[in-house]
Structure 1
Amino acid sequence: MTTARVAERAGLSNGLVHHDFKDKNELIESTIRFSLAEQRNDVLVCVGKAATPIERIWAIIEGNFSERGFTRSIAQGWVSFCGDACFNPRFLRIQKVVYRRMDDNLVFSLRSLLPITEARQVAIDISVLIDGFWMRMALQGFPGREEALGRMRAYLERVFVDFDRGRVSAQPRRKHRANDLTRVVSD
C-alpha cells in the first residue's frame, strides 16, 4: 500500500493525502484508530443490552463480529497493522491497548463466574479465538460472521455448565450440551 494508491482509490490528490498525513504509517494509524473506535461502539451497543455476566461476555464477542466491521478488507487492514506492530513501536502500543482492554473487559465479567485464574485463561482463549477468526477472514475470506459466532458459542458451551438464559454455573463443562448459548443469543 502506498499513499498514492490510497489517494487514487479515495479519489483524492496525493498532495492532499500528504497534507493530512505526514507518511504512510500515520495514515495507517489513523485508519486503525477509526476502525477501532467503530468496533468499540459496536461492542458498547451490544454490552448496553446485557444484564448478566454471560450476556456481557457474549456482547463483547458479538461486537467483535459486527456486520459492519467483520469484513475481509477491514480484517486485512488489521492483520497488516499487527504485522507492522512487530517493527513499529506506535503500532505495538495501540495493539497492546486493544488486547489489554479486551482482556480486562472479559475478565470483569468472567470473574463472577470463575476463579480469577480461570477467568484470565478463558479471557485469553476468547481473545485468541477472535483473533484467529479475523486472521482467517483476512487471508481466506471466511468464516463469515454467523459461523464465527457459532464457533464462539460452541466454545462457551464447553466452558460453562447449566447455561440457561444467561445464568451459568462456573463449574468446568464435563459433558457437551448443545444449544445452551443459542437461547441467549436468540433472546
Structure 2
Amino acid sequence: MPKTGMEPIRRKALTDAAIEAIGARGSMDVTMSDIAGRAGVSPALAHHYFGSKEQLITASVRALLSDLRADTVEALRKARTNRARVSAIIAVSFSEEQFSDDVVGAWLAFYVIAQRAPDIRRLLSIYSRRLHSNLMSGLTPLAGAHDAERIAEGAAAMIDGLYIRKALGTGPARHDAVALVEDHIETQLLEIRGRTL
C-alpha cells in the first residue's frame, strides 16, 4: 500500500531529478529509468505519476517556473523602491539555485525541445512575459513606458545570453553576471536622466 501523503513528495523528487538529469546531460537524452533512479523510485512509479517522459518534462518546466515565481514574489515583496524592484528581479535570475549548472543546462535543453513541443513553448513564453512584466513594473516609473520597454528587452536578452554562455562554460560567475546586467540598466537610466536635464 502506498504511504499517505507520499505522492507530492515523490512528484517533487521526480521533477527535481528530471531537471538534474537533463541539466547534467545538456539534452533530453535521458530515460524515465535514469530519472527514476536519481529520484530513488522505480520507473514504474515514475510512469504511474506522470504517464510519459514528455509529461514529466512538462511538469519539470512548471516546477522550475513555480520556484522562480515564488522566489521573485518574495524578492519583490522586500523591494522598497522601483529601482530595488529591478535589482531584485536580476538577483533572482542569477540566484545560486537558478544559475546552477544543472538548472542552466536544463533551461537550455527545454528551449531546444520547445521548438517541437507546444506545451513547453507555451510555458517558456509565460516565463518570458513574466520577466518582461516584472522588469517593466520597476522600470516604467523610472524611465517612462517607451524607454522602459527598450531597457527591459535589453536586460532580458542579457539574462538569456548569460545563461547560454554559462551553459557553454564561458560565462561569468553569478555576481559578475548580476553586475553586467545592473551596469546595462544603470547606464540606460543615466542616459535618460541626462536627456531630461
The answer to whether the superposition gives a TM-score over 0.5 is yes
Distance 2:52 2:194 in 1: 50
Distance 2:168 2:31 in 1: 20
Q: Deviations over 1:87-145 (max 9, x none)?
A: 11111111111111111121122111123121111111111111111122223174221
| Structure with more relative contact order (C-alpha pairs < 8 Å, separation 6 or more) | 2
Distance 1:141 1:15 in 2: 39
Question: Any runs of at least 4 consecutive aligned residues in structure 1 with deviations exceeding 3 A, and if so which?
Answer: none
Structure richer in helix, relative to its length: 2
Gaps of 5+ in 1: 162-168, 174-187
Query: In structure 2, which of residues 109, 115, 119 is the aligned counterpart of residue 86 of structure 1?
Result: 115
Q: Partner of 1:90: helix, strand, or coil?
A: helix
Gaps of 5+ in 2: 1-29
Structure richer in strand, relative to its length: 1
Residue aligning to 1:184: none
Distance 2:75 2:171 in 1: 23
Q: Partner of 2:193: helix, strand, or coil?
A: strand
Distance 2:81 2:188 in 1: 17
2:188 is the counterpart of 1:159: yes
Contact 1:3 1:17 in 2 (8 A): yes
TM-score using structure 1 length? 0.82
CA RMSD of aligned residues (A): 1.7
Q: List aligned pairs for 1:1-187, cutoff 5 A.
A: 1-140=30-169, 142-161=171-190, 170-171=192-193
* Residues matched between the structures, number: 166
